């Protein structure tokens, strides 16, 4: 078995990275006051996973290169889980601003993989039920407009799964649980799925090395991970592959091309599975 960081060390690293990613607390992506006619309107709601490495801006730039006109809104706040966000007045206000085409909700690995026991697995855990939060968001969004498509982001597992707390679940076991529960909840509530975690799994099956998609806290995305997230969201919303695009977020061309192709194929190869518009 490989060595894993001590719980206290890992927690401190995580807090340090959160500060670097999100100093200032609430991050709202720059946006125009109003969408232009014909824009696809997309609202991102999440926490530090959406805030890391300018992920939303990567999504915007992929859309720009593909000629897809999008208006992007966001409510991204560090440290909040989906149930916290469902109770946040600023989120409700953001949703009610307009009849969004897409509202994208961020998933979290532990709460999705272990919905009933996640609060028991770490020394700093608390209970954050996901399915009731998804129900709340569905009601909130439907009250604004019934044409909005809600997308739940399938989360990615920790890089070392739950091995760091003494469980047997490695990354792949934890990711499978995220997959199973995401699809079950999406099916029950008729939500679309942005299969971020499944695209990450495809890359990590190639064994690219430690902290390739994950940051050094084994939890948040690295630049590559944030870029792959943006690729998945692009394919999810735009229903188009970006495999042939040039945008690479400062990464080597071949590496970025592989991430663009993988993320696009995971989405476009089975839109029916992900309950997405075709």
Q: State the Cα–Cα distance between residues 157 and 176, nearest whole angstrom.
A: 9
Residue 108: exposed, middle, or buried by beta-carbon count in 10 A (0-12, 13-18, 19+)? Answer: buried
Kindly give the residue spans of alpha helices, DSSP state H, lying in the chain: 7-22, 48-51, 55-66, 82-86, 89-95, 109-113, 131-144, 171-189, 196-204, 223-238, 253-268
Q: Among residues of the chain, what percentage have pLDDT more than 70?
A: 88
In this structure, what DSSP letter does residue 219 have?
Answer: S
Domain boundaries, the chain: 7-268
Residue labelled with tokens 């607390």: 25
pLDDT at residue number 87: 96
Residue labelled with tokens 């001590």: 6
Q: What is the largest CA-CA distance in the chain?
A: 56
Residue labelled with tokens 């968001």: 137
From the list 68, 69, 71, the residue with the least C-alpha distance to 102 is: 71
Task: Give residue-wise pLDDT tens across range 147-164.
Answer: 999 999 999 999 999 999
Q: Is 239 helix (H, G, I), strand (E, B) or coil?
A: coil
Task: Give residue-wise pLDDT tens across range 65-89.
Answer: 999 999 999 999 999 999 999 999 9
Mean pLDDT across the stretch 8-35? 48
pLDDT at residue number 60: 97
**Gap between the terminal Cα atoms of the chain:** 44
Task: Give residue-wise pLDDT tens across range 254-266.
Answer: 999 999 999 999 9
Strand partners, 77: 26
pLDDT at residue number 2: 33
Averaged pLDDT score across all residues of the chain:
90
Residue 10 has pLDDT above 90, yes or no: no
Q: State the Cα–Cα distance between residues 264 and 232, nearest whole angstrom.
A: 6
To 10 degrees, what angle do helices 171-189 and 131-144 make? 40
CATH 3.40.50.1110 fits 7-268, yes or no: yes
Task: Give residue-wise pLDDT tens across range 93-133.
Answer: 999 999 999 999 998 999 999 999 999 987 777 999 999 99
Please check whether residue 56 is in contact with residue 42, taking contact to mean a CB–CB distance below 8 angstroms: no
pTM of the model: 0.90
User: Residue 2 has which token pair?
Assistant: 């490989």
Q: State the Cα–Cα distance between residues 159 and 253, nearest whole angstrom.
A: 25
Please check whether residue 111 is in contact with residue 81, taking contact to mean a CB–CB distance below 8 angstroms: yes
User: At 31, is the pLDDT very low, low, confident or very high (cuts 50, 70, 90)?
Assistant: low
Please report, for residues 64, 94, 121, 154, 252, the alpha-carbon distance to residue 186 in angstroms, rounded to integers and kept in the order given: 29, 23, 25, 10, 35
């Amino acid at each position: 078995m490989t060595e894993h960081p001590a719980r206290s060390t890992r927690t401190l690293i995580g807090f340090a990275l959160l500060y670097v990613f999100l100093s200032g607390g609430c991050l709202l992506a720059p946006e125009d006051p109003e969408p232009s006619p014909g824009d696809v309107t997309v609202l991102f709601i999440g926490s530090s996973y959406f805030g890391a490495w300018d992920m939303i801006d990567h999504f915007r730039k992929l859309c720009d290169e593909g000629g897809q006109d999008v208006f992007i809104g966001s409510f991204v706040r560090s440290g909040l889980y989906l149930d916290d966000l469902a109770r946040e007045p600023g989120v409700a206000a953001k949703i009610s601003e307009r009849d969004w085409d897409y509202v994208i909700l961020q998933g979290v690995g532990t709460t999705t993989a272990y919905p009933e026991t996640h609060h028991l697995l770490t020394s700093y855990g608390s209970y954050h039920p996901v399915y009731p939060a998804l129900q709340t968001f569905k009601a909130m969004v439907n009250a604004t407009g019934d044409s909005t498509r809600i997308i739940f982001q399938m989360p990615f597992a920790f890089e070392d799964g739950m091995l760091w707390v003494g469980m047997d679940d490695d990354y792949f076991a934890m990711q499978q649980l995220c997959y199973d529960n995401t699809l079950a909840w999406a099916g029950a509530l008729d939500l679309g799925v942005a299969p971020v975690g499944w695209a990450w799994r495809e890359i990590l099956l190639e064994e690219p090395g430690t902290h390739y998609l994950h940051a050094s806290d084994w939890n948040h995305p690295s630049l590559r991970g944030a870029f792959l997230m943006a690729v998945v969201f692009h394919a999810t919303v735009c229903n188009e592959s970006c495999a042939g695009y040039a945008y690479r977020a400062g990464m080597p061309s071949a590496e970025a091309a592989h991430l663009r192709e993988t993320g696009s194929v995971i989405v476009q190869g089975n839109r029916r599975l992900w309950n997405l518009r075709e």
